[in-house]
Amino acid sequence: MGKKRNTLPTVAYFCMEFGLHESFPIYSGGLGILAGDILKEAKAGGYPMVGVGILWRQGYTSQRIDERGYPYDSYYEQRYDFLEDTGVVVRVRVRGRLIKCKVWKCTQFDNAPLYLLDANLPENEDRLITGQLYGWFSEERIAQEMILGIGGVRALQALNLPVSIYHFNDSHPVFAGVELIREMMDEEGLSFEEAWAKAKAKIIFTTHTPVKAGNEEHDHELLRYMGAYNGLTFGQMLRLGGEPFSMTVAGLRLARKANAVAQLHGETARRMWGDVPGTARIIAITNGVFRGTWQDERLAKAFARKEGLWAPHQQAKRELIAEIYRRNGVRLDEEVLTIGFARRVAPYKRGNLIFSKPEVIGEYLEKGRLQLVFAGKAHPNDLAGKEIITELYRMTKRYPQSVVFLEDYDMQLGRILTRGCDVWLNNPRRPQEASGTSGMKAAMNGVLNFSVLDGWWPEGCVHGVNGWQIGDGYEGKDQDAHDRDALYRVLRSEVIPTYYEDRDKWVAMMAASIEMAQQQFSTARMLKEYFAELYR
Ligand SMILES: *Cc1c(COP(=O)(O)O)cnc(C)c1O
């Protein structure tokens, strides 16, 4: 299908996780799904790109809730029998031991080739390095990052793939930069300075984390012990990442150009990192989603032919309701306004904000005016996130006919929810949501966004026309109370009355939402900008 684009640079896109399909659980959430969508768009648009990642043998956590409402985690041995064996094996020295990694190739999901490193070989003592995605910290995390970065560069060479751009999606792959430098020093006899400058000309970095504490840092002693110095000296590593070694600073210093993932996030990221000496200029390229994966075909067709949108929407809503019944035994009502909230359960996303005044929201839930559908996993070590899940679980017991929580959020649930709900709620504590992409999926399906002005939404929102804003972008003291009151106000005075009393306006808003999402928030627009503004 793809057009030939011979004059474009060949890009190797490195990421810790890739979300291509629910049957291939080597992803955790937004970061990986973005990477998966990019590889699908690269294939569809004929862009010269390959992905580099890790074959997680036990995937990411499968998270369920016990009878008291506490989430618990399980990992399962996965079988990936659709992968192609490239025959290539690379070696990375970790903790003084050589780890052999097999390189697999995946083209199963209409994606540009994805090469995956796998340490699960009988001859390795440390077979589980590539076991669990984000399962471990500290030593094991560094080991995983060494396999991805150092192993990834070696794999591309062993495969004889000519690469002109190395794109690090978030900071996990930065040791690939250390490997490129070491190699030029060893093989071309360059000085550290010369090699760094030459590597920099080929490296692009994307930052995803406005939460400063969420940016990974490693102790130099530990890096040296693990072998992550990879032949460089303490002084050289210090110049790349500072002390402690900041993975984000290293990414920004290794790269010739960097990007944030929405316009507002660009401002936040420049405020955070702009003054750090030696870092790349951070531009903003807003994320997008791949239509082929996320847009309901029936709805897309109706929209393109200017036919009614309500019937295909209700069809998707009935499918959601059937899936909820199948999983939870609760039968929701297709005539009742249904709000969805599904995302990684992290405290800053405030999944429980809508319940912060039970007397306000309870009335709608009890009188059959509103249904709430939640889904999401907390990171296995995030106890505050897990408490939020427990609170949501309690709400499902308090309002058993109108509140549901779906366990084990994955791409399949994401797809069903972002088609079948009426409204998509998003209330992170601004400005901590870098982009957020589930709202783009919803918008593309005429599921109306109801969101604070964070992430991508300030760029898309026309209040009352294609969705609604919650609050006015306020940041500061009493932000939670401010946003909660705004949420209730807009819900009561605009969302609920429009749904029940002005169906024509609702459907017009759905059309405006689809138009906005198709124009502005697809990976087609995004990749065009990557090639025009980052890679050239
Ligand atoms: C789209 C998606 C995400 C990312 O959505 P956010 O809005 O960034 O939270 C995470 N998980 C799944 C399963 C998704 O489909």
Nearest to 222 by CA among 129, 138, 130, 144: 138
Whether 2 has a pLDDT exceeding 50, the answer reads no
Burial of 403 (0-12, 13-18, 19+ CB in 10 A): buried
- Indicate the pTM of the whole model: 0.96
Nearest to 10 by CA among 108, 156, 117, 182: 156
Name the percent of the chain lying above pLDDT 70.
99
| Whether residue 143 has its Cβ less than 6 Å from ligand 1 | no
Whether 493 has a pLDDT exceeding 60, the answer reads yes
Whether 1 has a pLDDT exceeding 60, the answer reads no
Nearest to 115 by CA among 139, 141, 147, 142: 147
Distance 415 CA to ligand 1 centre (A): 10
| Whether residue 343 has its Cβ less than 6 Å from ligand 1 | yes
Whether 80 has a pLDDT exceeding 70, the answer reads yes
The pLDDT value recorded for residue 8 is 81
Give strand ranges (E) for 453-517: 467-470
Tokens of 345: 């359960």
Average pLDDT for 426-445: 96
Q: Which of 27, 40, 133, 344 to mutate to test the pocket of ligand 1 (most atoms within 8 A of CB)?
A: 344
Nearest to 153 by CA among 126, 132, 173: 173
The pLDDT value recorded for residue 28 is 96
Q: Which of 26, 27, 31, 33 to mutate to test the pocket of ligand 1 (most atoms within 8 A of CB)?
A: 33
Interval 108-155: pLDDT, tens: 999 999 999 999 999 998 889 999 999 877 899 999 999 999 999 999
Tokens of 58: 């036990």
Residue 488, C-beta contacts closer than 8 angstroms, at least 6 positions apart: 357, 360, 361
| Whether residue 344 has its Cβ less than 6 Å from ligand 1 | yes
The pLDDT value recorded for residue 6 is 63
The pLDDT value recorded for residue 4 is 52
Helix, coil or strand: residue 138: coil
Whether 9 has a pLDDT exceeding 90, the answer reads no
Interval 164-209: pLDDT, tens: 999 999 999 999 999 999 999 999 999 999 999 999 999 999 999 8
Distance 440 CA to ligand 1 centre (A): 10
Strand partners, 218: 245
The pLDDT value recorded for residue 5 is 62
Helix, coil or strand: residue 158: helix
Distance 499 CA to ligand 1 centre (A): 26
Average pLDDT for 398-415: 97
Interval 382-397: pLDDT, tens: 999 999 999 999 999 9
Tokens of 338: 């249904």
Mean pLDDT over each residue of the chain, to the nearest integer: 96
Average pLDDT for 363-368: 96
Question: How many other CB atoms are there within 10 angstroms of residue 6's CB atom?
Answer: 7
Residue 235, C-beta contacts closer than 8 angstroms, at least 6 positions apart: none
Domains by residue range for the chain, with CATH: 11-288+525-535 (3.40.50.2000), 295-520 (3.40.50.2000)
Contact 372, 424 (CB under 8 A): no
Interval 259-317: pLDDT, tens: 999 999 999 999 999 999 999 999 999 999 999 999 999 999 999 999 999 999 999 99
Sheet holding 257-260, edge to edge: 84-94, 97-106, 114-118, 49-54, 11-14, 165-169, 203-206, 257-260, 282-284
The pLDDT value recorded for residue 262 is 98
The pLDDT value recorded for residue 137 is 78
Average pLDDT for 458-463: 98
Distance 384 CA to ligand 1 centre (A): 19
Ligand 1 atom closest to the CA of 415, numbered from 1: 15
Whether 77 has a pLDDT exceeding 80, the answer reads yes
Distance 441 CA to ligand 1 centre (A): 9
Whether 477 has a pLDDT exceeding 70, the answer reads yes
Whether 474 has a pLDDT exceeding 80, the answer reads yes
